[in-house]
Chains A and B, each alone.
Chain A
Amino acid sequence: MNYRKLLVGAAVATALTPLAHADGHSGERGRDGQVNIIYWQAPSTLNPYLSGGTKEVESASLVLESLGRFSDTGELLPWLAAEIPTVENGGIAEDLTSITWKLKEGVKWSDGSPLTAADAVFTWKYCTDPEGGCAQASYFDGVENIEAVDDLTIKITFSGPKPFPYTSLVGAESPIIQEAQFKDCLGAKAPTCTDANFGPIGTGPFVVTEFKANDVVQFAANDNFREEGKPAFATVNFKGGGDAAAAARSVLETGEFDYAWNLQIDPTVLAEMESKGKGTVATAFGTSVERLHINQSNPDPSLGDERATVKHPHPFLTDSRIGQAMSMAIDRALIVEIGYGAGGQVTCNVLPAPAVYSSTANDACKTQDIEGAKALLDEAGIVDTNGDGIREKDGVPLSVSYQTSTNAVRQDTQALIKEWWSQIGIETELRNIDASVFFGGDPASPDTFQKFFADVEMYTNNFAGVDPEAYMANWRCSEIPSPDSQWQGSNMQRFCDPAYDALVDKLSQTAGIDARAEIVKQQNDMLMNSYSIIPLVHRGGVSAYANSLGGVQISDWDSELWNIKDWYRIK
């Protein structure tokens, strides 16, 4: 230990003299000692194919890398690949059915063996093994074959035209794993390879030295990393546990840690902590939108087995004017101010980013209009007939149940919205459900978000990567959850419009970013005009880093730690 410290110390001393004055962050590998990262939800494994959670994917991204990564601006950068294949440079076939990647030359695994195209092919086989239960299998959707043309060339063939082919082996979710290490771990044998799952060999800047599941991971700089003088840190202490407030405190107030992830806490508290001057709060916006789903089917318990199925339309929420009034009554700016602070922006679109896809047709919702909402309902003849302060439509009082997962910010938002809806004559009953049940999808539980046994529900959804095609297909008629499909499906609000389905099909055939953007915007506006989905807040990932930590560029398009190889200590 002491010997190592000495070495590092000496390295820093020599590195400082020639280079340090220029920018302070180049020199010997491992010159800056240890960086402490806290993820208040700790990783349970370092194999992202076995657990698709953000914490696993991001911690593994220090070790495992993919062909390309998305930068903080959403730009696709070549990582293990020499360049990004396009139709222009011949990397993508004219008919859009295949893509050919070239690996960088001389890339080595941390055990010293060379990275080859065979590893990429193996990764595909590993994840698509039918018995493996691979969490990232959707990244290989539509892939017919992956083959190694030569040691450095990977050819991916799709079963049909794939206008956006940068999914397989791109981004933190589908990195390349080493064939030599995992060759006996295919399919049902995956869980027997604990050593490999807890300590994968990678090409990235760090190697795992100790892994304690759901607790702590220790990394050390990879001696075989391909970039000279990187990473600047000799070790990484990746601690988990506690809650978001404690994680923020350890970076912004006590200074025990250098980087804290996912700090969804009260913005005034976070701002107060930041004002202590020890660290900085940074936000990265991706595609996450906190939204309300307005149930188009009737969740009345008296319907029994046909409850919340398309057989029974909702008695009043299918009227888009009611949904519109509900949307108008909401002061999104205030929700952002109270619950999200810098971590949120007002949005009127379910698809707010990337910029090229975001529509501006619905921006009227950005300002609250209670009077307008009242007028709209009055005009529609939906008025309070019996004097109890609640409007009725065809004799049915506008009384809604509103459910979401348990989370302090969501409960504040619920309380605010309940208040605003009461002002326009809509009564609301609030419910919160433990997240593990709500998002659990257990067909036996009545409280899952798929079953949607409520009138309104709220949660955040997003899509990984930068292409919205699969995401926008969520609202096809065929995606509606029902008892026949074991309540599987992603069309929570039971929106169904053949014209929308046609746009989904059209998008899957269209290439060219502008043409695609046009269709996506149409889809977005169609959803917005149905008022079956009411977007509230465009949410960003909020993280904090110590002021002495340099080079941090938080990205929501990839792992937040995507460029940890460039991090350094400001002296």
Chain B
Amino acid sequence: MASVVANSELSDVDWLVMRARSFPKTDPYSAKAWLITAKSLFPQSFVIQFEFYIVEKAAKNVEEAARILQDMLQNFPNEQALWTEVQSILESLQRESQDQKYSFLTDLFAAIPTSTQCGMLAQVSKTIPDVFERCQLLLVVMRKFPNLVPEHGIKLMETLVQEEIKSGVVNNPVNCYRKLLVCDVMPLVLEKGGHLEVNMFQLYLWLQRAIEFYVSYISQPAPGSSSSGETPTTSDTEGSRPSPVKSRSLSGLSEGEMQVPDPWGNLLKLLLLTGHRLNWDIEQNILSRPKEYQIASLQHQLTRAKASNACETNMKQILHTGMVLFVYSMMHYVNHVQVDVAGANSHQSPVVLLEALSSPYTERLSPPKAKKSKLEKSAPVIVPSTAINASASILQSFEMAVKCFELLNSTEELKYEFYQLCQKWRKETHTMMSYFQADMNIYQGNYGEAITHLQALVGTASGKTAMKLNLQLASCQLCLKQYSKACQLVLEQVETILAQSGASVPLCSTAAEDSGDAEECISDSHSSLSGRRLRLMQCTGAEVLPFCLQFLTASLRTKMSTYQLTDSILAHMIILLQCDWPQQEALFNEIISTIQKQGTFTYNAFFYYVHQVDILEEFAFLDTPEGGKVNLDIMPISTKALAQQRTVTRGVNKGVKEDFKAALEKQVGRVPESSDVLIKRFLQDEREELLKSFV
């Protein structure tokens, strides 16, 4: 009573609210009774109803509070306090906290009929000036309340598309609008949207945006170097936009928010969801299956769609499925090929796809043009090095990428659409594509085109990737018989490796032998099927150096039956043969018989580089009548020069002969320098000489 007197100054409404508030928490009944009366007395008073709402909220009466809130939204749509409350409810929806306060507000929102929920959302989102924030709010709410998806889903997607265009960031698909659209809203709408008022073209358009986003996202440079230089084109629109919004349009989301955990999984999911919407023949529960299964299933789809009649629907399906599978497999493959650009794992060595060097007495290096028709029929065999982990999956990806690429280029229509889609890619993606195309051309035997790609790439590449590209270039040039260029490149690579790792890298590693053996095995089983073999090796010194030696030997061997054959070429081959002696004994025998036929052999650096006992013995034998009495001039000081010094006519050669024999014996007696060291020395010292062979 005392309080009534003290508060006699208050207006009736305020007094009623004050009285309602005056009851202790232990008596919820009286406060409510007062408020019911007050509301009945002053039905137009917002203060009273709001107080009522507060009381119900405090008592955690979800339904009552929701009902009052709904009433107030209807009757007092202009009350600021009400909208502040609505805003705080919607904000609490955005929190993932387990806090009771937020979960109560979420329940409260849940207790409100859908139409009012929509109204609340629409009203609150109007008050958010920033479109992106508005979209985020809508997204969060739709996630928690899928019943709102049919009403707001498509609208939200359209808003995001428009806003992306308006903001000018559309040139860079990895922007906040696209991220929200593709990663968050689109899956939600496709999955939970119920019946959608969209046509096929709209769905494909969204899917294309998704492909663009994910392709760019996956191929974007490692974080840190990214966002800075992006989207210079925004400058023309910036005048009309307030600056805080502009800064959003650049990055929009923090690094963390821009992360997409399983991009390929997401893209496949979108493709499959779109497929469901378009009634493709895919299983209903495919989304719960592992990625590999989904891919296999899509591949089947693709084959089936291709086989059936080519209507536009089909064409679109082939285009999009093919596109997704292509970028998926292509990028997976290129990640192994273009290691240091992909960022994180720069310690890894790239894998190199090369034309396999034919070993002696298997086929000669294939003349590319002549065999082309045959190649198209049966795909070449790729033999992976045992040093590559997961080589099977790399090859699988490569082959799938090639198939998809061929499919996407199989008709003019598809080709056009495919290139339209590719045009929107970022630079990095095009680079990846170039890497892939280089390898694909090698695989297809189109060395000229491969070289074009490789040369374009090698300009910007460095480290192991540069080496990989150079090796491929050399391999192509070899196939095109550009031996000089090829060997120069190979020697450069040898030099690089030796400069970097020196003696530590074995030249004639067991690995090389292993791979050689493996090659033999596989070539045995496949030789009947295909004449062409490729090898996939790791770009490490241990794998590259032996390859380089084989490469040089193979190049030199091409001169064997030509008029360009010189004694140095023969000698160089002999020196290189020592490396994996007696692997190439057959070639050696060929060389010896050539020398026997010539009757002479001059190579004064012979004793510097030839230590192999078997070879030395063979040369001793050449000197004998049984060996053909070959005139050998292999002493460090030329016998001819010696002869000129000793101006004696007779018996000259006798002393020389003895010198030769002594030298041979001395060389055999010497503890052999390891062939590794020896050949490394040879490659370093005689580089110019080697190159002269190909002039």
A and B assemble together: no
Q: Which residues of A contact B (CB under 8 A)?
A: none
